[in-house]
């Protein structure tokens, strides 16, 4: 999965370079008076942790939701291209499976991922959520710069973020036979940032038409801080809704 994401982002970048070489011989001027320079970008899709050990069971619909306010500035030389930058929030929810329990309040120096056997009490569901303040930067290409709503588009870039919050949320504590102990609405929530990487650097790529595009991302920095748990990186695939 990681190789697919990195390959796709590399192809997008090489495509930009090749296209730039073919269009750099002359100016490309369009009437962009009706094109907005600032806009909202929403992203929703699936997340996964790569290279995780067998003891960490994740699954379900592990997902992300991101929202950014972006500013888009077309190139003067060739308006097919623009650079966009902005700020916003990136959230990730990773769901544990097969009775895997994560205790953020442990006093241990590494984050424990405890696999409970079939004879132990357990939570029916648990997720790990991280929220980052992020600054995305994109190099963009439009087939029709004057009408981005009717244009093929592609983008490659990166996101730099800082961790705002990390917490776990477990629901419905059950017996080994599946009987609820405290009721199905019982929730245990733990908040602690110390195990998670405080800096988030991710490579990103998008390709689509109009306001919709398929987005991909690979977190270069690890999910956990060095020495605080297994080395894992996050990969993302999803849908972007954006006017540009």
DSSP readout, 140-205?
EEESSTT-GGG-EEEEEEEEEEEEEEEEEEEEEEE-TTS-BSS-TT-EEEEE--TTB-SEEEEEEE
- The pLDDT, as a whole number, for residue 232 is 96
Mean pLDDT of 149-177: 95
- The pLDDT, as a whole number, for residue 77 is 87
Which structure tokens are listed for 61?
A: 């619909």
DSSP 3-state of 7? helix
- The pLDDT, as a whole number, for residue 38 is 81
Confidence of residue 29 (pLDDT cuts 50, 70, 90): confident
Q: Sign of the C-alpha dihedral, residues 134, 7, 44, 231?
A: negative
Mean pLDDT of 152-170: 97
- The pLDDT, as a whole number, for residue 20 is 46
Mean pLDDT of 78-94: 96
For 8-52, the three-class secondary structure string (H helix, E strand, C coil) is: HHHHHHHHHHHHHHHHCCCCECCCCCCCCCEEEEEEEEEEEEECC
Give strand pairing partners of 199: 162
Query: How confident is the model over 30-79, as pLDDT tens digits?
Result: 878 778 788 899 999 999 999 898 888 898 889 999 999 999 999 988 99
Question: Quick one: which of 136, 191, 137 has its CA closest to 164?
Answer: 191
Query: How confident is the model over 108-143, as pLDDT tens digits?
Result: 999 999 988 778 899 999 999 999 999 999 999 999
Give strand pairing partners of 60: none
DSSP 3-state of 9? helix
Q: Pick 165 or 150 by higher pLDDT.
A: 165
Q: Pick 197 or 14 by higher pLDDT.
A: 197
Question: Do the beta carbons of residue 160 and residue 200 sit within 8 Å?
Answer: yes
Question: Do the beta carbons of residue 142 and residue 82 sit within 8 Å?
Answer: yes
- The pLDDT, as a whole number, for residue 5 is 57
N-terminal to C-terminal alpha carbon distance within the chain: 28
Residue 26 has pLDDT above 90, yes or no: no
* Chain mean pLDDT for the chain: 89
Which structure tokens are listed for 1?
A: 């999965």
CA 237 vs CA 33, 57, 93: distances in Å: 33, 19, 13
Strands 187-191 and 113-115: unpaired
pTM for the predicted model, two decimal places? 0.87
Query: Percentage of residues in the chain with pLDDT exceeding 90?
Result: 69
């Amino acid at each position: 999965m990681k190789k697919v994401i990195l390959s796709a982002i590399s192809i997008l970048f090489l495509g930009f370079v090749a296209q730039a070489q073919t269009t750099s011989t002359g100016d490309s001027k369009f009437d962009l008076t009706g094109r907005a320079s600032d806009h909202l970008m929403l992203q929703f899709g699936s997340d996964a942790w790569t290279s995780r050990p067998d003891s960490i069971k994740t699954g379900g619909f592990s997902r992300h939701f991101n929202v950014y306010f972006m500013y888009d500035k077309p190139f003067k030389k060739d308006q097919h291209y623009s650079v966009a930058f902005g700020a916003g929030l990136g959230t990730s929810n990773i769901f544990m499976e097969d009775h895997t329990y994560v205790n953020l309040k442990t006093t241990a120096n590494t984050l424990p991922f405890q696999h409970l056997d079939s004879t132990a009490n357990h939570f029916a569901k648990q997720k790990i959520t991280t929220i980052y303040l992020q600054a995305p930067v994109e190099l963009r290409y439009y087939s029709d710069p004057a009408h981005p709503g009717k244009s093929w588009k592609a983008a490659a870039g990166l996101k730099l973020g800082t961790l705002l919050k990390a917490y776990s949320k477990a629901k419905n504590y059950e017996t080994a036979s599946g009987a609820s102990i405290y009721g199905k609405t019982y929730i245990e929530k733990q908040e602690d940032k110390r195990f998670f990487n405080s800096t988030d650097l991710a490579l990103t790529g998008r390709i689509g038409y109009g306001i919709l595009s398929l987005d991909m991302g690979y977190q270069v920095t690890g999910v956990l801080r060095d020495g605080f748990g297994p080395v894992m990186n996050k990969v993302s695939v999803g849908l972007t809704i954006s006017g540009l």
